[in-house]
Amino acid sequence: MRLKSIFSNSFGILISRVTGLLRDILMTSALGASIWSDIFLMAFKFPNLFRRIFAEGSFTQSFMPSYVASKQKGVFAVAIFMRFMLMIIGFSLIVTLFPEAFTKALAWDWNDDLIGKTAPLTVINFWYLDLIFIVTFLGTILQHKEHFFTTAFSTVWLNIAMIATLMFYAKSEPQAIVYALSFSILAGGLLQIATHIVAIRKKGLARILIGGWKYRKTKDVKTEEQKFNKLFLPSVLGSSTAQIASFIDTSLASFLVAGSVSYLFYANRVFQLPFAIIALAITTTLFPAISKAIKNSNEEAAFANLSKAFWLLNILLGASVLGGILLSEPIIWLLFERGAFDLEDTKNTAYVLQMYMIGLVPFGLAKIFSLYLYAMHKHLKAAKIAVISLVINVIFSIILMQSMGAAGLALSGSIGGFAQLILTIKEVGFDKFWNIVKSKTMPIFIIAMITFGTMLYFINKFLIDMIR
C-alpha cells in the first residue's frame, strides 16, 4: 500500500475540504438556513448530481481499467474524451433551453415563484459540469501515473473563487449573492482546468494526448472502446446511487420545514470531510495499483492491498464516527453558528450530522470492497448491489422523515450504507472478509475505540457547558 501517495492525496483533499468549510461558514453567515440558501443549494444540486455520476465515479471506474489495458493509450483517451465532451455539452444546452422543467424535477413541492427564482441559477450552475469533466479526465490520466495531489487540491480554486465572491458581496441582497456565487463556480472550474493542464505538461503526459489526437484516425482502438462501453453503463448505475439518494433526499427535504435542505447540506459537508480525507483518499490511491495487479493476474497482491486498507479505514473512520457523534453540537457551533445561523439551526444540523455519522464506517468499507469488484471488472455486480441499497435507503427515507424530519433522511442513508456493505462483502466473499477480521488488530481496535469514545464523552460535556 503506497502510504506516500495516500498521504499526498489526503493532504490535498484536506486543504480542499478546509477551504470548503471556510466557504460554507461564510455562506451561512451571509444566507443562514434561509429560502435563498435553499434556492442556491437546489440549483447547484443538479450539476453536482451529474458531475458525480458521469464525470467522477462512473467515468474513472470504467476508464481506468480500460486505459491500463489499452495498447494505444493516447488514441483511446482522446476518443473517449471527445465522445463524452460532446454528450455533456449537448446535455447542458438542453438544460439551458428548459431550466424550469429540470428545476421542477429537483424540487417537486416548490411553487412556481420559487421555481422561477431557481431556474436561471440552475442554468448558470449546470455549465460547471462541462468544466469539471475536463478536470476529471485529466485527473484520471494523472492517477495512472500515481499523481493524485493536483486533482485532490484543485477544488481549492473553486472554494477560493466562492470565498472571494462571498467576501465582496457580504453586505449585498441575498439574490445578488446567489447569482454572484453561481458565476464564481464557473470561474473556479476554469482555474481547476488550468491547474491540471500545468500538471499534465510537467509530468510529460501532454505528448500522449497530442499524439492521440494526431493519430486518432489511423490507430484502431475499437476493441478498447467496446470494453469501455461494457463497463461504463453498469459503472454509471453503481456510482450514481449515492448521488441519486442525495438527490432524492434533497427533494424530499423540500416537503419539510424551511431550512431542512440547508440542514442536510451543512451536516453532509461535515460528514464528507472524514469520508473524503480518509475513505476517498485511500480508495483513489489504491485503484490504479489494484487494477494493474488484476491485469497482471496477481490477485494475491491486490487482496493484500485491500487487507491493509481495511484496518486503516476502520481505525481512522471509527475515530471519526465517535468524534462526529459525541461532539456534533460543538462542531456545528464552531463552524456555522454566526450571523443568520442561530442556536436552533445548530441543534437541528447537529442532529442530522449524528445520523449521517452512523453510516461513515459502512460507507467507507463498502467503497473499498466495491473497488475490488470494479478492478475485477464486476461492474454489473456492484451496480446491482448499489441499486438494492438505494431502494432500501428510499423506503426508510419515506418512513423516517415523517417522525424525524431531515435527520430521518440522514439516518436512512446510513441504513443504506450498511446494506451496501453487507451485500458487497457477500459478493467479494465472506471467507476473505473473515480472514481480514480475524487479524490480531481486532482486540487492539476495540480497546482503542472504547478508550477514545469515553474520553470524547467527557470532552463533549465540558464543551456543551462552556458554549451554552
**Is 306's pLDDT higher than 80?**
no
Domain count, the chain: 1
Instruction: Tell me the average pLDDT across 200-214.
Output: 83
pLDDT band with cut points at 50, 70 and 90 for residue 406 = confident
User: Residue 458: its pLDDT value, please?
Assistant: 63
**Is 394's pLDDT higher than 80?**
yes
Q: Which residue has the cell 428548459?
A: 98
Please give the DSSP secondary-structure letter assigned to residue 33.
Answer: S
Instruction: Tell me the average pLDDT across 247-270.
Output: 80
Q: What percentage of the chain reaches a pLDDT higher than 70?
A: 84
State which of 103-107, 200-204, 238-242 shows the largest mean pLDDT.
Answer: 200-204
Could you tell me the maximum CA-CA distance found in the chain, to the nearest angstrom? 72
**Is 182's pLDDT higher than 80?**
yes
User: Residue 179: its pLDDT value, please?
Assistant: 92
User: Residue 114: its pLDDT value, please?
Assistant: 83
Check residues 84 and 161 and name the one with the higher pLDDT: 161
Sign of CA dihedral 168, 170, 171, 173: positive
Cell numbers that stand for 337 in this block: 453558528
**Is 146's pLDDT higher than 70?**
yes
Write the CB contacts of 382 (distance below 8 Å, at least 6 apart in sequence): 234, 235, 238, 370, 373, 374, 424, 427
**Is 330's pLDDT higher than 80?**
yes
pLDDT band with cut points at 50, 70 and 90 for residue 160 = very high
Contact present, 114 and 39 (Cβ < 8 Å): yes
Cell numbers that stand for 249 in this block: 433526499
User: Residue 265: its pLDDT value, please?
Assistant: 82
d(CA 468, CA 456): 18
Which of 307, 325, 305 shows the shortest CA–CA distance to 317?
325
User: Residue 165: its pLDDT value, please?
Assistant: 92
Render pLDDT for 407-460 as a digit per residue (tens, 0 to 9). 899 899 899 989 999 999 888 887 777 877 776 666 666 666 677 667 766 666
d(CA 414, CA 357): 8
**Is 107's pLDDT higher than 80?**
no
User: Residue 198: its pLDDT value, please?
Assistant: 92
Instruction: Tell me the average pLDDT across 306-334.
Output: 82
Instruction: Tell me the average pLDDT across 374-395.
Output: 84
d(CA 192, CA 195): 5
Q: How many CB atoms lie within 10 A of CB 62?
A: 26
State which of 24-28, 51-55, 179-183, 302-306 shows the largest mean pLDDT.
Answer: 179-183
Instruction: Tell me the average pLDDT across 40-50.
Output: 76
Domain that holds residue 459: 3-467
Instruction: Tell me the average pLDDT across 349-372.
Output: 87
**Is 48's pLDDT higher than 90?**
no
pLDDT band with cut points at 50, 70 and 90 for residue 193 = very high
If phi > 0 it is left, if psi is from -120 to 50 it is alpha, else beta; for residue 404 that is alpha
Check residues 297 and 192 and name the one with the higher pLDDT: 192
User: Residue 373: its pLDDT value, please?
Assistant: 79
d(CA 434, CA 437): 5
pLDDT band with cut points at 50, 70 and 90 for residue 298 = low
- CA atoms in the 13 A half-sphere facing the CB of 345: 25
State which of 14-18, 50-54, 139-143 shows the largest mean pLDDT.
Answer: 139-143
Single-letter amino acid code for the residue at 259: G
